[in-house]
């Protein structure tokens, strides 16, 4: 299919630019127009999702060719994007050692260390000298190693004894044994460690690769930092989607089908909507107050949204700090105190603004009837209350979710806002009843 | 200060766990208690912000020692966290070649390629043979190179001619000249490229390091992928903070002073609050309608928040897709069409739910007076309108901001919600006036 040697006028750069707006068929077609050499680079640089789209559109022999061009971890990722039937078919077409590697990788959850790792790492023996080890690595380098930056020292049962950086090996006296050069207090990831945790580990220790080890201490593969950049982006996107009150999309926005997108959004919108009907019910309880002082109704959106806004600030701060490992479960009390203070200060600021605004309109336009000044005080007091409730709810919800074993990032800003809205209505009208009883009401 | 050799009982692991809750003084104190060997690793793994806190708390000779233990790019980052006075003092204490390197790095904006790069990269000449190049690199490896994974081929004027991976050099026939091995169609970053763009480039091409080149084509340094993981995390945090309607914090949440945090939050809360006073004004225009049909007021929070929620979903989807490079400015029309359809479908879903809810309450409890069924229709129609307005506003705001040269991520969910709230009120009461005139009103 790929027109090797023939000039078609379509460059990889052109294709990359229009890529996001193409559908699966157009992508395969465009890809087939690339010159062979460009196509190889281009294919490598695609996400597993895009690679799978292309492979699905190609015919038998082309299909095999492109699948085989990938490293085993990338091939496993691609296969996991396909229908089970096509997946089995393609897996069978790999050569036996690669098939074995790929199948082993697919046994791991895609977002575990095991699902991220490559089994092609550089291995040496502790009794080799630096020079022997370098020669041994030089032979391995001819195969497809993921990185030679670190060499892993294994015993005969594949247990990981130590790690030596290639640079150390390279700079050492040629006859020093590996045993003396390797570090045996290395950082490693268990094969079932979550990818977010793996990313944190790599970033914290500024490593280029991390060995993945099973429960028996046997080396299974390495996770390299370039895979982690994708993980971090992916997790940030997932968290952003959840923070906006929807399920995270699995594919790029423009590639997600309309039905899929509406479904992922409608679930949360419905939950939030049902939550908001509680606000309507809460307001129903105060219908009499509203009837005798319609002016009260005007400030309801102002009050509930101020609570929601301050709550969503807090919940985002806490979720992000948890994602970065800055905040642990045991810090809840510290956060609660901090947010109580923040809430009081922010509430006071908004209360002052609200007071000034209503008093001004009342004084100059007589906008709010006989008891405008009392209404101003009610609104201001409610603002302090609702902002404090907002910050405290926003601060605690991620902890509650984490304690319950759920993802703290599900404490989306709109979810917090909806929780706070009901309390906002109750606070506001209760205060109104107290402050205005006998006069306006 | 550091009690070398003496056992204090505090391990780096212990210190790392309590780190987030310590203040600057406690951090320096805890750090001083570590054994020397652990302290070195620990210090390396800290953020520039934490390193600066420690260095500020140490005395003269210790201070110099720790600063000198860092690679030039990390030293530059640390210095940029300090007061200008202390910065100059410490810079003067570095040895002249390092001072020169660090000062050159500090001349770049911290979030440009130039501000991220390390000047310590492996360089070879095109006329060397593979074997000569490896021997030459072996000498350089004894110094502090950032990575030997790629070797950069420079001419006598420091212009970058090509890149060869160490693995290729290593696997090649020993007498092949570098010229034949190097790739001259390499990916590079101009020194003023924004760090987000650098991150995208590295991730897209799965590179471990990227050469940074000035306008004249001269090689200035390399950016390694481990620095990029930090960049991606940092940018994700910034975007999350902005999405929640606040200015991004510069330091970890628990390390940010209360005053600073309140200030960063209060600015946006105030803007949003002032926006919400428009909602109050808008409702004021419909005071008569509310007075004659209080039941209308009950559904205001439900309607405005449904618009806000769908708008914040859309704006987050678009911002994230822009951040990942999936959506360009020219895609605005495509997005608008998509979101119009989404908005109609989502609006219809919520309208159906709202209709069912009000009709049910009306039928079983007679909750909404004589004309409950007409109110139900009004609410349902308004929900469709407000959700469509919400999705369209949410979709277009990031484009408008980007066109205006601002950061699209400033189109925070609460900002969209506030914009939509005003329109929600107007849509709802205008429809109410039309549908209910002559009967309820």
Report whether B202 contacts B192 (CB < 8 A): no
Distance in angstroms (rounded) separating the CA atoms of residues A12 and B330: 20
A407 Cβ neighbours under 8 A, 6+ residues apart: A242, A401
DSSP-derived 3-state class of residue A241: helix
Distance of CA A25 to the CA centre of its chain: 29
Chain A partners of B308 at a C-beta cutoff of 8 Å?
Answer: 305, 414, 417
Q: Do A413 and B418 touch (CB under 8 A)?
A: no
Nearest CA in chain A to B300: A301
| N-term to C-term CA, chain B | 80
Residue whose entry in the numeric block shows the structure tokens 């630019």: A17
Q: Do B269 and A320 touch (CB under 8 A)?
A: no
A94 Cβ neighbours under 8 A, 6+ residues apart: A67, A68, A75, A102
Query: Residue B392 has what pLDDT?
Result: 94
Chain B partners of A341 at a C-beta cutoff of 8 Å?
Answer: 258
Q: Do A270 and B315 touch (CB under 8 A)?
A: no
Q: Do B45 and A232 touch (CB under 8 A)?
A: no
Residue B371, beta-bridge partner list: none
Neighbours of A59 (CB within 10 A): 8
Q: Do B318 and A353 touch (CB under 8 A)?
A: no
DSSP H or E stretch at residue A189: strand A189-190
Chain A partners of B294 at a C-beta cutoff of 8 Å?
Answer: 287, 290-291, 294, 297
Residue B194, beta-bridge partner list: B112
Report whether A410 contacts A323 (CB < 8 A): no
pLDDT, tens digit (0-9, with 9 covering 90-100), for A249-296: 887 787 788 888 888 888 888 888 888 888 888 888 888 888 888 888
Distance in angstroms (rounded) separating the CA atoms of residues B329 and A296: 44
pLDDT, tens digit (0-9, with 9 covering 90-100), for A28-41: 888 888 888 788 88
Chain B partners of A338 at a C-beta cutoff of 8 Å?
Answer: 254, 258
Distance in angstroms (rounded) separating the CA atoms of residues A29 and A23: 10
Chain A partners of B300 at a C-beta cutoff of 8 Å?
Answer: 297, 300-301
| N-term to C-term CA, chain A | 80
Residue whose entry in the numeric block shows the structure tokens 């970033």: A203
- A269 to chain B, minimum CA–CA distance in Å? 7
**Residue A186 DSSP class:** -
Q: Do A148 and B142 touch (CB under 8 A)?
A: no
Cβ contacts from A onto B, under 8 A? 348
Edge to edge, the sheet with strand B209-213 lists B189-190, B209-213, B219-224
Phi-psi sector, B100: left (phi>0), alpha (psi -120 to 50), beta: alpha
Chain B partners of A354 at a C-beta cutoff of 8 Å?
Answer: 273
Q: Do B414 and A147 touch (CB under 8 A)?
A: no
**Residue from the list A204, A297, A421 with its beta carbon closest to the beta carbon of B305:** A421
Tokens, residue B213: 């080149």
Q: Do B225 and A230 touch (CB under 8 A)?
A: no
Residue A123, beta-bridge partner list: A152
Question: Could you give the dihedral angle defined by the CA atoms of residues A240, A243, A247 and A249, in that order, rounded to the nearest 10 degrees?
Answer: -10
Distance in angstroms (rounded) separating the CA atoms of residues B441 and B357: 22
**Residue from the list A244, A254, A305 with its beta carbon closest to the beta carbon of B313:** A244
Q: Do A301 and B304 touch (CB under 8 A)?
A: yes
Query: Residue B5 has what pLDDT?
Result: 41
Residue whose entry in the numeric block shows the structure tokens 């204490």: B93
Chain A partners of B229 at a C-beta cutoff of 8 Å?
Answer: 199, 202-203, 225, 228-229, 232
Distance in angstroms (rounded) separating the CA atoms of residues B244 and B268: 10
**Interface residue of B77, B258, B291, B313 to substitute, partner A, most A CBs within 10 Å:** B313
Query: Residue B279 has what pLDDT?
Result: 85
Distance in angstroms (rounded) separating the CA atoms of residues B64 and B86: 12
Domains and CATH numbers, chain B: 12-107 (1.25.60.10), 116-234 (3.10.580.10), 253-436 (1.10.357.20)
CA atoms within 13 A on the CB side of A34: 20
pLDDT digit of tens for each residue in chain A (441 aa)?
A: 444 444 556 788 888 877 877 888 888 888 888 888 788 888 888 888 888 888 888 887 888 888 888 888 888 888 888 888 888 888 888 888 888 888 888 877 777 888 888 888 888 999 999 888 888 887 777 666 666 678 899 998 889 999 998 878 887 888 899 999 998 888 899 988 988 888 888 877 777 789 999 988 899 999 888 777 777 778 888 888 887 777 888 877 877 888 888 888 888 888 888 888 888 888 888 888 888 888 888 898 889 888 988 888 898 888 888 877 788 888 889 889 989 999 999 999 999 999 998 888 888 877 677 777 888 999 999 999 999 999 999 999 999 988 888 878 776 778 888 888 889 999 999 998 888 776 655
CA atoms within 13 A on the CB side of B22: 17
Q: Do A138 and B239 touch (CB under 8 A)?
A: no
Number of residues that make up chain A: 441
Chain B partners of A145 at a C-beta cutoff of 8 Å?
Answer: 167
Neighbours of A144 (CB within 10 A): 13
Q: Do A254 and B327 touch (CB under 8 A)?
A: yes
Query: Residue A145 has what pLDDT?
Result: 65
Q: Do B298 and A318 touch (CB under 8 A)?
A: no
Distance of CA A352 to the CA centre of its chain: 38
**Residue from the list A240, A321, A357 with its beta carbon closest to the beta carbon of B277:** A357
Query: Residue B6 has what pLDDT?
Result: 47
Query: Residue B142 has what pLDDT?
Result: 66
A182 Cβ neighbours under 8 A, 6+ residues apart: A126, A153, A161, A162, A163, A164
Nearest CA in chain B to A148: B167
Chain B partners of A321 at a C-beta cutoff of 8 Å?
Answer: 252-254
- A234 to chain B, minimum CA–CA distance in Å? 10
Tokens, residue A415: 């979810």
Whole-prediction pTM: 0.71
Residue whose entry in the numeric block shows the structure tokens 């947010």: A339
Query: CA-based Rg of chain B, rounded to a whole angstrom?
Result: 30
Q: Do B290 and A300 touch (CB under 8 A)?
A: no
Residue whose entry in the numeric block shows the structure tokens 């907002």: A390
Q: Is the ipTM of this complex over 0.85?
A: no
Distance in angstroms (rounded) separating the CA atoms of residues A294 and A297: 6
- A7 to chain B, minimum CA–CA distance in Å? 19
Q: Do A202 and B236 touch (CB under 8 A)?
A: no
CA atoms within 13 A on the CB side of B409: 20
Query: Residue B439 has what pLDDT?
Result: 64
Q: Which long-range contacts (CB under 8 A, 24 or more apart) does A93-97 make?
A: A93/A63, A93/A64, A93/A67, A94/A67, A94/A68, A95/A68
Residue whose entry in the numeric block shows the structure tokens 């690339």: A34
pLDDT digit of tens for each residue in chain B (441 aa)?
A: 444 444 556 788 888 877 877 888 888 888 888 888 788 888 888 888 888 888 888 887 888 888 888 888 888 888 888 888 888 888 888 888 888 888 888 877 777 888 888 888 888 998 999 888 888 887 777 666 666 678 899 998 889 999 998 878 887 888 899 999 998 888 899 988 988 888 888 877 777 789 999 988 899 999 888 777 777 778 888 888 887 777 888 877 877 888 888 888 888 888 888 888 888 888 888 888 888 888 888 898 889 888 988 888 898 888 888 877 788 888 889 889 989 999 999 999 999 999 998 888 888 877 677 777 888 999 999 999 999 999 999 999 999 988 888 878 776 778 888 888 889 999 999 998 888 876 655
Nearest CA in chain A to B350: A270
**Interface residue of B144, B279, B280, B329 to substitute, partner A, most A CBs within 10 Å:** B280
Three-class HEC string of chain B: CCCCCCCCCCCHHHHHHHHHHCCHHHHHHHHHCCCHHHHHHHHHHCCHHHHHHHHHHCCHHHHHHHHHCCCHHHHHHHHHCCCHHHHHHHHHCCCHHHHHHHHHHHCCCCCEHHHHCECCEEEECCCCEHHHHHHHHHHHHCCCCCEEEEEEEECCCCEEEEEEEHHHHHHCCCCCEHHHHCECCCCCEECCCEHHHHHHHHHHCCCCEEEEECCCCEEEEEEEHHHHHHHHHHHHHHHHHHHCCCCCCCCCHHHCCHHHHHHHHHHHHHHHHHHHHHHHHHHHCCHHHHHHCCHHHHCHHHHHHHHHHHHHHHHHHHHHHHHCCCCCHHHHHHHHHHHHHHHHHHHHHHHHHHHHHHHHHHHHHCCCCCCHHHHHHHHHHHHHHHHHHHHHHHHHHHHHHHHCCCCHHHCCHHHHHHHHHHHHHHHHHHHHHHHHCCCCC
**Residue from the list A294, A305, A321 with its beta carbon closest to the beta carbon of B252:** A321
Q: Do B240 and A239 touch (CB under 8 A)?
A: yes
Q: Do B413 and A418 touch (CB under 8 A)?
A: no
Q: Show the CA angle centred on residue B111, arms to residues B222 and A210, nearest 5°.
A: 55
Report whether B309 contacts A412 (CB < 8 A): no
Distance in angstroms (rounded) separating the CA atoms of residues B239 and A244: 12
Edge to edge, the sheet with strand A160-165 lists A122-124, A150-154, A160-165
Q: Do A253 and B171 touch (CB under 8 A)?
A: no
Report whether B117 contacts B105 (CB < 8 A): yes
User: Which of these, A221, A227, A226, lies nearest to A122 by C-alpha position?
Assistant: A221
Distance in angstroms (rounded) separating the CA atoms of residues A141 and A135: 10
Neighbours of A439 (CB within 10 A): 10
Residue B164 φ/ψ, nearest 5 degrees = -135, 135
Report whether A235 contacts B304 (CB < 8 A): no
Edge to edge, the sheet with strand A189-190 lists A189-190, A209-213, A219-224
Nearest CA in chain A to B259: A342
Question: Could you give the dihedral angle defined by the CA atoms of residues B244, B304, A305 and B413, in that order, rounded to the nearest 10 degrees?
Answer: 10
pLDDT, tens digit (0-9, with 9 covering 90-100), for A386-432: 999 999 999 999 999 888 888 787 767 788 888 888 899 999 999 98
Residue B45 φ/ψ, nearest 5 degrees = -85, -10
**Residue A129 DSSP class:** B
Tokens, residue A234: 């992916």
Q: Do A244 and B316 touch (CB under 8 A)?
A: yes
Query: CA-based Rg of chain A, rounded to a whole angstrom?
Result: 30
Chain A partners of B418 at a C-beta cutoff of 8 Å?
Answer: 305
**Residue from the list A279, A306, A342 with its beta carbon closest to the beta carbon of B302:** A279
B42-78: b (≥16 Cβ within 10 Å) or e: bbeebbbebbbbbbbbbeeebbeebbeebbbbbbbbb
């Amino acid at each position: 299919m790929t027109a090797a040697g023939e000039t078609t006028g379509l460059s990889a750069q052109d294709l990359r630019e229009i890529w996001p707006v193409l559908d699966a068929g157009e992508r395969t077609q465009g890809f087939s127009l690339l010159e062979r050499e460009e196509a190889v680079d281009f294919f490598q640089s695609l996400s597993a999702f895009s690679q799978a789209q292309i492979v699905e559109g190609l015919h038998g022999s082309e299909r095999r060719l492109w699948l085989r061009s990938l490293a085993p971890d990338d091939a496993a990722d691609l296969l996991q994007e396909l229908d089970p039937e096509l997946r089995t078919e393609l897996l069978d077409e790999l050569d036996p050692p690669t098939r074995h590697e790929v199948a082993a990788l697919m046994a791991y959850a895609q977002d575990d260390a095991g699902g991220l790792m490559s089994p092609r790492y550089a291995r040496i023996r502790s009794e080799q000298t630096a020079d022997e080890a370098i020669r041994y690595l030089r032979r391995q380098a001819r195969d497809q190693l993921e990185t030679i930056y670190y060499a892993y020292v294994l015993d005969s049962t594949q247990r990981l004894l130590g790690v030596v950086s290639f640079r150390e090996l390279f700079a050492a006296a040629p006859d020093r044994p590996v045993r003396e050069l390797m570090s045996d207090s290395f950082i490693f990831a268990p094969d079932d460690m979550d990818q977010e945790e793996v990313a944190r580990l790599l970033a914290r220790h500024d490593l280029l690769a991390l060995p993945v080890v099973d429960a028996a201490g046997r080396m299974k593969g390495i996770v390299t930092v370039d895979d982690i950049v994708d993980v971090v982006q992916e997790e940030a996107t997932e968290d952003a989607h959840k923070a906006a009150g929807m399920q995270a999309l699995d594919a790029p926005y423009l590639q997600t089908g309309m039905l899929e997108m509406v479904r992922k959004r409608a679930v949360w919108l419905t939950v939030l909507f049902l939550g908001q009907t509680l606000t309507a019910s809460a307001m129903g309880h105060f219908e009499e107050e509203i009837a005798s002082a319609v002016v009260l109704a005007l400030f309801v959106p102002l009050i509930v949204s101020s609570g929601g806004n301050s709550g969503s600030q807090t919940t985002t701060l806490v979720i992000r700090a948890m994602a970065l490992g800055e905040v642990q479960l045991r810090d809840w009390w510290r956060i609660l105190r901090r947010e109580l203070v923040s809430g009081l200060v922010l509430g006071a600021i908004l209360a002052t603004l609200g007071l000034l605004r209503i008093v001004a309109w009342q004084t100059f336009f007589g906008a709010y009837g006989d008891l405008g000044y009392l209404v101003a005080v009610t609104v201001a007091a409610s603002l302090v209350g609702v902002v404090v409730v907002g910050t405290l709810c926003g601060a605690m919800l991620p902890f509650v979710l984490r304690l319950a074993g759920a993802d703290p990032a599900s404490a989306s800003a709109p979810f917090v806002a909806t929780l706070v809205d009901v309390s906002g209505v109750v606070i506001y009208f209760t205060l109104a009843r107290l402050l205005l009883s006998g006069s306006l009401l």
